[in-house]
Structure 1
Amino acid sequence: MSDAEKQALLASFPAPYNTADLANGEAKFGLCRSCHTITPDGANMTGPNLHGVFGQKAAQNAKFRYSDALKNSGIVWDANHLDEWLAKPMTYLPGTKMSFAGVKDAKDRTDLIAYLMVETGHKPQ
Structure 2
Amino acid sequence: MRVPSLARALPFAFATLALSLCLSGQGAAAQEAQPLPPGNAEAGAKVFNRCKACHQIGPGAESNIGPELNGVMGRPAGKLPDYVFSEGLASAGFVWDDAHMAEWLRGTKKMIPTTKMIFPGIRKDQDMADLLAYLHQFKADGSTAP
Tell me the TM-score range normalised by the shorter chain.
0.7 to 0.9
Could you say which residue in structure 2 is the equivalent of 1:60? 79
Paired AA for residue 32 in structure 1: C
Query: CA offsets, 1:56-98, max 9 Å, x none?
Result: 1111112111000001111211111001101111111111000
**Superimposed CA distance per residue, residues 20-52 of structure 1 (whole angstroms, 9 cap, x where no aligned partner):** 222321111000011111124521011001101
Q: Counterpart in 1 of 2:9?
A: none
User: What TM-score comes out, normalization by structure 1 length?
Assistant: 0.77
Q: Are positions 1:76 and 2:76 aligned together? A: no
1:35 corresponds to: 54
Identity of aligned residues (%): 34
Tell me the residue number matched to 1:46.
65
* Larger-gyration structure (1/2): 2
Q: Hey, what's the Cα distance between the residues in 1 that align with 2:70 and 2:60?
A: 8
In structure 2, the residue matched to 1:102 is: 121
Q: Which amino acid aligns with 1:76?
A: V
Paired with 1:23 and 1:53, the residues of 2 have a C-alpha distance of 18
SS, match of residue 30 in structure 1:
helix
TM-score (norm 2): 0.67
Unaligned 5+ residue runs, structure 1? 1-14
Q: Distance in 1 between matches of 2:96 and 2:113?
A: 17
Q: Is the 8 A contact 1:41 1:51 kept in 2?
A: no
**Root-mean-square deviation over aligned CA pairs:** 1.9
Cα distance in 2 for partners of 1:113, 1:107 equals 10
Letter of the aligned partner of 1:58 in structure 2? A
